[in-house]
Chains A and B, each alone.
Chain A
Amino acid sequence: MIADGVEDEEKWLSAGIAGLQQNAFYMHRALDSNNLKDALKYSAQMLSELRTSRLSPHKYYELYMRAFDELRKLELFFKEETSRGCSIVELYELVQHAGNILPRLYLLCTVGSVYIKSKEAPAKDVLKDLVEMCRGIQHPLRGLFLRSYLSQVSRDKLPDIGSEYEGDADTVMDAVEFVLQNFTEMNKLWVRMQHQGPNREKEKREKERSELRDLVGKNLHVLSQIEGVDLEMYKKIVLPRVLEQVVNCKDELAQYYLMDCIIQVFPDEYHLQTLETLLNACPQLQPSVDVKTVLARLMERLSNYAASGAEVKAFAKLNNAIGKVIEAQDNMPIAGVVTLYASLLTFTLQVHPDRLDYIDQILGACVKKLSGKEKLDDRQATKQIVALLSAPLEKYKDIDTALKLSNYPRVMEYLNARTNKEMANVIIQNIMKNKTCISTAEKVDALFELIKGLIRDLDEDLHDELDEEDFKEEQNSVARLIQMLHSDDPEEMSKIIHTVRKHILTGGRQRLPFTVPPLIFSSLKLVRRLEGQDESVSGNDASTTPKKIFQIVTQIIESLSSIPVPELALGLYLQCAEAANDCDLEPVAYEFFTQAYILYEEEITDSKSQVTCIHLIIGTLQRMHVFGVENRDALTHKATGYSAKLLKKPDQCRAVYACSHLFWLDEHDRIRDGERVLLCLKRALRIANAVQQMANATRGSGGSVVLFIEILNKYLYFYEKGVSQITVESIQDLIELIRSEMNGENAPSDPAADAFLASTLRYIQFQKEKRWCSGGEI
């Protein structure tokens, strides 16, 4: 069906072109022989082809353009005729004898053009007559093209200021009046198109109408080109008249297009001076008109204008207009509302970056619109809200500014949990990107309130859908954020810590493992900072002392106990202990260790975890120097005890030889107990032996000698440290032992162990040579 239609149209078009060409041929002959009568006859016949109703706008245009070219020749002929003495007035009458109206009016416009040029009558009279007579064409398509022809031939003949057609009788007012009238009539025809033809072709018609829009818009362009249309005239006549037509036509397509057209063709300065008039029209447009895009484009233009250095004071007007548009378009979706405000916000950020009050006002208006409604769940709307809220962040690159906006968090209230989270992420990313420092507790409080979507569960149902990866990523962001909170003032920093604590404790078991560690480290950083400061400074300030901070820290770590994540808590206690150590707070450090031990004993049951934890304990304890002998003994004793009680023998062995380090500290003379080092190592050897025997018993082959080699390395370490209990003999014995184990009948081949031993022996050789070179005693 459709294909047929297209084919038919092609056929009709080529028939039309053929008819047109044929008559044009005879017309040319008449022109060549100066036969006016025949010229009129054939030109009228030629133009009759334009009377067709069968062509789509696109095809009709093709036909029109051909006729247009021919009419140019005819116009030239008319001009020659008048120079040959034919009266232009007579000619003007003569063409009106044509019986068919469309050819008659095309001819009339053509002669009219010559008439104006002849200046035998005031241009305005001829123009007025032409634009009036064109009313005879009520068919939209034909009317639009005819009037477009009129507009085309009259463009260079308007009595504009400075034009040769300007005179006493002709003023620019007449030019404007003429164009306005033609515009009005064209728009009426254009709007009417939608009602013609069957309903089922509505879509097609809208498309066709869309193709014709520039014919209508061209008039506005012509108006903008008239020199005499100065601001005054634009304000008093042009704009009100154009807007009147736009509003009254009540057509969605036309209103949208023409509003945009006005905005695009007239200068920014005019818009700025007539903003109220222009904006007043917006609420009067049809509810279906995409006003937000229109306004967005206006604001875009104005902000570009402002960027070029012009002073643009338009916020109040724009804000007011947007309010009215929203009020007028009762059923405007919330997404539209937010989009409008987002555009206004963009405008304001660009034009009035210093006016935070404006921005807050916009957000406030949003809140007002959102209030009393359910939380937003519309995808489009939430997207727009995110854009709205992101804009100030992007502009100021500083969350600080956003925190000053009282309505900012109130807008976020209306976001659903998912969007709230998304927005919170945006905020954090912004802080990260701009390395914003948030340095007061108050701001931190506000910030955490803002990003509460990440801090705690806002919506229980949501949790199930959440992807674990995403969750981790989010919480890692929060952790990073916590790290970024910093104040140089310890007092304030302490407050910040308190604030953060308050917020993160609401986060629940899922979040605490992510949020607690950074806060602890942040606190410990503060502790170390206090420690580094002058005693007098920190001493003066009673509220912020390391002790106090350790108290909070303890509480924070305790909060993990409900989850439970004992390994994490244990690690944190050890970190704290180390910090306390640095502050020379022995009781505190001891307490932390105690807590760690309790956790170890009570909570950590998995053997693998135990191994990890015991090594952590040993490592930390080794570095502690704050403890007195008694405390230290108690702790090391416990640690060695735990080591010996590990489940797997190799683990036992390794933990035990690690314990040897607890008795020998290079940097502390107090802790140099060679006996106990040796004891540890011997005990480790015994365990290694036991492992070997167990292997023989269970598998009938020797076990790995790696443990022995590892112990050998410890021997070497302490030997070099000067532990007198470690002798060369004992080392040699051990090497012998290892060798015999390796060469034994049942020894399995173990290349790794071979290599390990070889390296160790090479090291011994190297050390020997070094010592020999320096001439010492072996």
Chain B
Amino acid sequence: MNYIIGAFKPACNISVTFSDGKSRKQVALKKENGQTVMVPLFQSQETISGKISVEPVSGKKVEHNGIKVELLGQIEMYFDRGNFYDFTSLVRELDVPGEIYERKTFPFEFSTVEMPYETYNGVNVRLRYVLKVTISRGYAGSIVQYQDFVVRNYSPPPSINNSIKMEVGIEDCLHIEFEYNKSKYHLKDVIIGKIYFLLVRIKIKNMDLEIRRRESTGSGSNTHVETETLAKFELMDGAPVRGESIPIRLFLSPYELTPTYRNINNKFSVKYYLNLVLVDEEDRRYFKQQEITMYRLGETPEATL
């Protein structure tokens, strides 16, 4: 038994440590196998540096044709699983071909790396950043070790942030005017607004505000659109009459949102919508969907109410 296990055991242990690993913020990342691990968090233009140590197992020597570390930004489409598209690829050679007898440490540094896209785990697409350490060997196959990390990019508050105000309705049946205080929200923001009923001739049962995420992958005829409802928030219970004004206050923090991604390397986009839904007593739904832009605000203490 030991023999068999030994045969599949890698010949050496590779570990990656980041130079500011202890102080750097760690975030949860869901892996392919469903497990959640804590990984360091970076943003674009940061320098990613650290050490990579290679330690042969129990005194065996490791023969190799060179050791390198790559920083990869990859997009994986689920309909094309396992096939990664690298939009970023940087390489650092760590060692010339030779033999390693004992634990050996190699420093590495990728300075001011351009990482324009955020890590994303969607329905049909995944964007990930990874450090890939490769010990090339001829006959025995290379030894590869991956170290994931997460990238999030922060935006300043937008200089222009108009409210969304709109009058909609069905003639002689329902006329409402709604207003959301902004068109651009950060991820922990609060949506404040109101719905004003100008005309009500239907028997409304209730009214919800939904947050919907529209993930679009591929292009042309291969476009896949997936829409998820991330939040269903009841705004009103019962039938209003003309002249009623119903307040909206929706805290975004409980929901798992990402910033809006307009176009990620021509591969996919993620957009957010507010969907106002009125349901009548016959369970007919009347709705109006409005796109909102999500952005990630710097990690400063945020105001709540």
A644 to B232, CA, bound (A): 123
Given known pairs A93-B251, A96-B251, A97-B251, the reply for A136 and B304 (CB within 8 Å) is no
A93 to B252, CA, bound (A): 11
The interface residues of chain A lying within 8 Å CB-to-CB of B254 are 97
Additional A-B contact list (16), CB under 8 Å, known A101-B235, A138-B204:
A89-B305, A90-B304, A93-B251, A97-B253, A97-B254, A99-B231, A99-B233, A101-B236, A101-B237, A136-B237, A136-B246, A137-B236, A138-B239, A139-B237, A139-B239, A142-B237
The interface residues of chain B lying within 8 Å CB-to-CB of A90 are 304
Chain B 243-264 against A: per-residue CB contact (8 Å), 1 yes, 0 no? 0111101010110000000000
Cross-chain contact B237 with A96 (CB below 8 angstroms):
no
The interface residues of chain B lying within 8 Å CB-to-CB of A136 are 234-237, 246-247
Given known pairs A93-B251, A99-B233, the reply for A138 and B238 (CB within 8 Å) is yes
Among B204, B231, B232, B246, residue most surrounded by chain A Cβ atoms (within 10 Å): B246
The interface residues of chain A lying within 8 Å CB-to-CB of B236 are 101, 136-138
A235 to B235, CA, bound (A): 37
Closest Cβ–Cβ distance, residue A11 to chain B (whole Å):
23
Closest Cβ–Cβ distance, residue B256 to chain A (whole Å):
13
Cross-chain contact A133 with B237 (CB below 8 angstroms):
no
Cross-chain contact B247 with A133 (CB below 8 angstroms):
yes
Q: Specify which of A102, A132, A140 is in contact with B247 (CB 8 Å cutoff).
A: A132
Asked whether A100 is an interface residue with its Cβ less than 8 Å from the other chain, the reply is yes
Given known pairs A99-B232, A133-B249, A135-B247, the reply for A93 and B305 (CB within 8 Å) is yes
Asked whether A192 is an interface residue with its Cβ less than 8 Å from the other chain, the reply is yes
Asked whether A92 is an interface residue with its Cβ less than 8 Å from the other chain, the reply is yes
Cross-chain contact A93 with B304 (CB below 8 angstroms):
yes
The interface residues of chain B lying within 8 Å CB-to-CB of A102 are 237
**How many pairs of A and B residues are in contact by the CB < 8 Å rule?**
60
Cross-chain contact A138 with B304 (CB below 8 angstroms):
no
Chain A 154-193 against B: per-residue CB contact (8 Å), 1 yes, 0 no? 0000000000000000000000000000000000100010
Cross-chain contact B238 with A139 (CB below 8 angstroms):
yes
The interface residues of chain A lying within 8 Å CB-to-CB of B235 are 101, 136
Cross-chain contact B246 with A138 (CB below 8 angstroms):
yes
Closest Cβ–Cβ distance, residue B71 to chain A (whole Å):
38
Cross-chain contact B244 with A138 (CB below 8 angstroms):
yes
Chosen A-B contacts, 9 in total, with CB atoms closer than 8 Å, are A89-B304, A99-B231, A99-B233, A102-B237, A132-B247, A138-B237, A139-B237, A142-B237, A188-B241
Asked whether A143 is an interface residue with its Cβ less than 8 Å from the other chain, the reply is yes
Closest Cβ–Cβ distance, residue A128 to chain B (whole Å):
11
The interface residues of chain B lying within 8 Å CB-to-CB of A100 are 234
Chain B 179-201 against A: per-residue CB contact (8 Å), 1 yes, 0 no? 00000000000000000000000
Closest Cβ–Cβ distance, residue B37 to chain A (whole Å):
24
The interface residues of chain B lying within 8 Å CB-to-CB of A99 are 231-234
Closest Cβ–Cβ distance, residue A482 to chain B (whole Å):
70
Instruction: Tell me the nearest residue of chain B to A93, going by C-beta.
Output: B304
Asked whether B240 is an interface residue with its Cβ less than 8 Å from the other chain, the reply is yes
Asked whether A371 is an interface residue with its Cβ less than 8 Å from the other chain, the reply is no
A467 to B189, CA, bound (A): 90
Closest Cβ–Cβ distance, residue A315 to chain B (whole Å):
41
A704 to B234, CA, bound (A): 115
Q: In residues 205-248 of chain B, which contact A (Cβ within 8 Å)?
A: 206, 231-241, 244-247
Cross-chain contact A101 with B234 (CB below 8 angstroms):
yes
A135 to B195, CA, bound (A): 11
Given known pairs A93-B251, A93-B305, A97-B251, the reply for A135 and B234 (CB within 8 Å) is no
A92 to B206, CA, bound (A): 24
Closest Cβ–Cβ distance, residue A600 to chain B (whole Å):
92
The interface residues of chain A lying within 8 Å CB-to-CB of B233 are 99
Closest Cβ–Cβ distance, residue A196 to chain B (whole Å):
7
Cross-chain contact B240 with A92 (CB below 8 angstroms):
no
Chain B 292-305 against A: per-residue CB contact (8 Å), 1 yes, 0 no? 00000000000011
A329 to B231, CA, bound (A): 54
The interface residues of chain B lying within 8 Å CB-to-CB of A139 are 237-239
Closest Cβ–Cβ distance, residue A728 to chain B (whole Å):
118
Asked whether A503 is an interface residue with its Cβ less than 8 Å from the other chain, the reply is no
Q: Specify which of A93, A135, A196 is in contact with B244 (CB 8 Å cutoff).
A: A135
The interface residues of chain A lying within 8 Å CB-to-CB of B244 are 135, 138
Instruction: Tell me the nearest residue of chain B to A101, going by C-beta.
Output: B234
A51 to B234, CA, bound (A): 12
Closest Cβ–Cβ distance, residue B233 to chain A (whole Å):
6
A350 to B277, CA, bound (A): 63
Cross-chain contact A137 with B237 (CB below 8 angstroms):
yes
A136 to B206, CA, bound (A): 9
A90 to B251, CA, bound (A): 12
The interface residues of chain A lying within 8 Å CB-to-CB of B232 are 99
Closest Cβ–Cβ distance, residue A121 to chain B (whole Å):
9
Q: In residues 97-149 of chain A, which contact B (Cβ within 8 Å)?
A: 97, 99-102, 104, 132-133, 135-140, 142-143
A143 to B231, CA, bound (A): 24
A102 to B236, CA, bound (A): 9
A143 to B239, CA, bound (A): 11
Closest Cβ–Cβ distance, residue B195 to chain A (whole Å):
10
Q: In residues 71-107 of chain B, which contact A (Cβ within 8 Å)?
A: none
Q: In residues 47-104 of chain A, which contact B (Cβ within 8 Å)?
A: 51, 89-90, 92-93, 96-97, 99-102, 104
Given known pairs A133-B249, A135-B246, A138-B244, the reply for A92 and B305 (CB within 8 Å) is yes
Among B206, B231, B253, residue most surrounded by chain A Cβ atoms (within 10 Å): B206
The interface residues of chain B lying within 8 Å CB-to-CB of A92 are 305
Cross-chain contact B238 with A137 (CB below 8 angstroms):
yes
Q: In residues 28-79 of chain B, which contact A (Cβ within 8 Å)?
A: none
Among A102, A136, A142, residue most surrounded by chain B Cβ atoms (within 10 Å): A136
Chain A 190-234 against B: per-residue CB contact (8 Å), 1 yes, 0 no? 001000100000000000000000000000000000000000000
Closest Cβ–Cβ distance, residue B298 to chain A (whole Å):
21
Instruction: Tell me the nearest residue of chain B to A132, going by C-beta.
Output: B247
A96 to B305, CA, bound (A): 11
Instruction: Tell me the nearest residue of chain B to A97, going by C-beta.
Output: B254
A729 to B241, CA, bound (A): 121
Cross-chain contact B305 with A135 (CB below 8 angstroms):
no
Closest Cβ–Cβ distance, residue B189 to chain A (whole Å):
12
A703 to B72, CA, bound (A): 159
A142 to B234, CA, bound (A): 15
Cross-chain contact A140 with B234 (CB below 8 angstroms):
no
A97 to B235, CA, bound (A): 12
The interface residues of chain B lying within 8 Å CB-to-CB of A143 are 238
Instruction: Tell me the nearest residue of chain A to B236, going by C-beta.
Output: A136
Closest Cβ–Cβ distance, residue A693 to chain B (whole Å):
111
A112 to B233, CA, bound (A): 20
The interface residues of chain A lying within 8 Å CB-to-CB of B246 are 135-136, 138
Closest Cβ–Cβ distance, residue A145 to chain B (whole Å):
12
A102 to B237, CA, bound (A): 7
A137 to B244, CA, bound (A): 11
A142 to B251, CA, bound (A): 24
Cross-chain contact B304 with A142 (CB below 8 angstroms):
no
Instruction: Tell me the nearest residue of chain A to B200, going by C-beta.
Output: A138
The interface residues of chain A lying within 8 Å CB-to-CB of B245 are 135
A51 to B237, CA, bound (A): 9
The interface residues of chain A lying within 8 Å CB-to-CB of B239 are 138-139, 196
Instruction: Tell me the nearest residue of chain A to B249, going by C-beta.
Output: A96
Among A99, A101, A188, residue most surrounded by chain B Cβ atoms (within 10 Å): A101
Q: Specify which of B231, B241, B305 is in contact with A192 (CB 8 Å cutoff).
A: B241
A577 to B304, CA, bound (A): 114
Cross-chain contact B240 with A138 (CB below 8 angstroms):
yes
Among B240, B244, B305, residue most surrounded by chain A Cβ atoms (within 10 Å): B305
Instruction: Tell me the nearest residue of chain A to B255, going by C-beta.
Output: A97
Closest Cβ–Cβ distance, residue A38 to chain B (whole Å):
16
A142 to B205, CA, bound (A): 13
Closest Cβ–Cβ distance, residue B97 to chain A (whole Å):
56
A689 to B260, CA, bound (A): 146
A99 to B233, CA, bound (A): 5
Closest Cβ–Cβ distance, residue A686 to chain B (whole Å):
111
The interface residues of chain B lying within 8 Å CB-to-CB of A138 are 204, 236-241, 244, 246
4 closest residue pairs by CB, A with B: A139-B238, A138-B238, A101-B234, A138-B240
